[in-house]
């Protein structure tokens, strides 16, 4: 089989559903994934490192990146800009690595418009109650922030129909393996294998 | 998660690629599959059993099945009719079992037209040479039959673009697991999970 270009994978999901942990486990367990680091204008939170968690930029710098078409998508959320730097995404895909973007639905839809063969995944909790319990259990946020997140989750949920597949984060290990399996399967799509198919086809015709 | 309807899976592939063995291993290893048995007007070969390998019918009986709309698809190949009985397929899907049809491309296209969410899989050999070696290695057919099969393979190959995914039968065990994985993944498609999604969504909005 010939080497394929990497697949662009968008992972979205409710706040508190465990996206960060899933991504961490996925990249630790499998080495064919490249996790895109977003650019943002929001302030770093305690413990966040520039270039690892986000690329932190001023609003002016961010506007320049937009003007130079250096972002494959960007969106404004809660007064701050978030965007995906193009260079890293394209380079990694060219190298055959599957690139994962953990972004919101606004960005996801822009990605799908620009890269029609991107894979859009939405991580669900096993139930609404579990999501709520996880948000409360974190104990890092005030009740007001939790309420705001649940409201946001409610709004995000309206967009699930635009995604290709859902993942259910009940057991973390299972969820990570299913994510890997979902992405691996897309490499078997006929249109991603035309080079190999045509090679075999031509050879069979020559017998 | 709510119980889903079974998925209709069409498996096609070149003569000699090992479809029969793959199906046998798949159904032995996993118990959620129902293998559809085709109806045909061709003569039974030595060792074939009615109701297990095929349902053997006269041309008259077959015509009546067509007239009564008892077949989800049928096709004529080499002067014989082959078709898929509807009742078994629908019953098994209603029970939540994934139904596998091992049929030719003509039938596959009719299935896709009638069941747009059917999954169409095409089994490829790792190379044309391997396919040829396997056909010759069987030692059950004359050189003329092998040549005829290769010619037919060549014609079948023109239709691969109509399929959704390819599978490569290099190592049997790997191929069977990939087939299982491909089908399992389709159960995660958003549109197959709307009942579950709407339940979680409604509950989140009620918090």
ipTM: 0.89
- Identity of the residue in A125, A182, A184 whose CB atom sits nearest the CB atom of B200: A125
What pLDDT was estimated at residue B149? 80
- Identity of the residue in A132, A196, A200 whose CB atom sits nearest the CB atom of B207: A132
In a domain, B138, yes or no: yes
Edge to edge, what strands does the sheet with A165-168 contain?
A33-35, A98-102, A8-13, A119-124, A165-168
Distance between CA atoms of B76 and A134, rounded to whole angstroms? Answer: 58
CB A125 within 8 A of CB A171: no
What pLDDT was estimated at residue B74? 94
Q: Encoding tokens for residue A158?
A: 């309206």
Q: What is the mean pLDDT of chain B?
A: 92
CB A93 within 8 A of CB A5: yes
In a domain, A201, yes or no: yes
Distance between CA atoms of A90 and A85, rounded to whole angstroms? Answer: 9
Note the pLDDT tens digit of each residue in B84-137: 999 999 999 999 999 999 998 888 999 999 999 999 999 999 999 999 888 887
In a domain, A115, yes or no: yes
* Interface test with chain A among B131, B148, B153, B166, by most A beta carbons within 10 Å: B166
Cβ-Cβ pairs closer than 8 A, A with B, add up to 112
CB B52 within 8 A of CB B40: no
**Residue B189 has what DSSP assignment?**
B
Alpha-carbon radius of gyration of chain A: 19
**Average pLDDT of the residues in A162-169:** 97
Q: Which chain B residues are within 8 Å of A132, Cβ to Cβ?
A: 207
Contact criterion met (CB < 8 Å) for B182 and A185: yes
**Average pLDDT of the residues in A181-200:** 96
In a domain, A143, yes or no: yes
What pLDDT was estimated at residue B147? 83
pLDDT band at B2 (very low <50, low <70, confident <90, very high): low
Q: Encoding tokens for residue B10?
A: 């069409």
Q: Which helix (H) or strand (E) holds B72?
A: strand B71-77
Cross-strand partners of B165: A189, B121
Q: Which chain B residues are within 8 Å of A148, Cβ to Cβ?
A: none
Q: CA quadruple B6, B7, B8, B9: dihedral positive or negative?
A: negative
Cα A159–chain centre separation: 15
**Chain A residue nearest residue B1, CA to CA:** A126
Determine the straight-line distance between the first and last CA of chain A, rounded to whole angstroms. Answer: 20
Note the pLDDT tens digit of each residue in B159-184: 899 999 999 999 999 999 999 999 99
Q: Which chain B residues are within 8 Å of A191, Cβ to Cβ?
A: 161
Q: Which phi and psi angles does A85 have, rounded to 5°?
A: -60, 130
Cα A185–chain centre separation: 17
Can you list the positions of beta strands (E) in chain A? 8-13, 33-35, 39-40, 55-56, 71-77, 80-85, 98-102, 119-124, 165-168
Number of C-beta neighbours around residue B189 at 10 A: 16
Residue among A84, A81, A61, A63 at smallest CA distance from A10:
A84
Residue B17 domain boundaries:
8-36+98-206
In a domain, A30, yes or no: yes
Contact criterion met (CB < 8 Å) for A188 and B200: no
**Which CATH number fits the domain that encloses residue A23?**
3.40.50.300
Tell me how close the Cα of A117 comes to any Cα of chain B, in angstroms: 13
Contact criterion met (CB < 8 Å) for B203 and A164: no
Alpha-carbon radius of gyration of chain B: 19
pTM: 0.90
To 5 degrees, how large is the angle CA B170–CA B162–CA B165?
A: 35
In a domain, A161, yes or no: yes
CB B11 within 8 A of CB B164: no
In a domain, B51, yes or no: no
Number of domains, chain A? 1
What pLDDT was estimated at residue A1? 55
In a domain, B88, yes or no: no
């Amino acid at each position: 089989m010939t080497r394929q270009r990497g697949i662009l994978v968008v992972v979205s999901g409710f706040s508190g559903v465990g996206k960060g942990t899933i991504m961490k486990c996925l990249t630790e367990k499998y080495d064919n994934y490249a996790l895109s680091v977003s650019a943002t204008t929001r302030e770093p939170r305690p413990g966040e490192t520039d270039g690892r968690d986000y690329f932190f930029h001023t609003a002016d710098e961010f506007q320049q990146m937009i003007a130079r078409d250096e972002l494959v998508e960007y969106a404004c959320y809660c007064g701050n800009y978030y965007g995906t730097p193009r260079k890293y995404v394209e380079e990694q895909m060219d190298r055959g690595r599957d690139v994962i973007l953990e972004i919101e639905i606004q960005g996801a839809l822009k990605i799908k418009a620009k890269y029609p063969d991107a894979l859009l995944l939405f991580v669900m909790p096993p139930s609404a109650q579990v999501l709520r319990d996880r948000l409360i259990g974190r104990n890092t946020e005030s009740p007001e922030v939790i309420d705001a997140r649940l409201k946001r989750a409610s709004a995000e949920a309206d967009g699930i129909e635009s995604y290709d597949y859902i993942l259910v984060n009940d057991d973390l290990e299972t969820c990570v393996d299913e994510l890997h399996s979902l992405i691996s399967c897309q490499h078997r799509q006929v249109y991603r294998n035309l080079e190999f198919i045509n090679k075999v086809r031509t050879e069979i015709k020559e017998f």
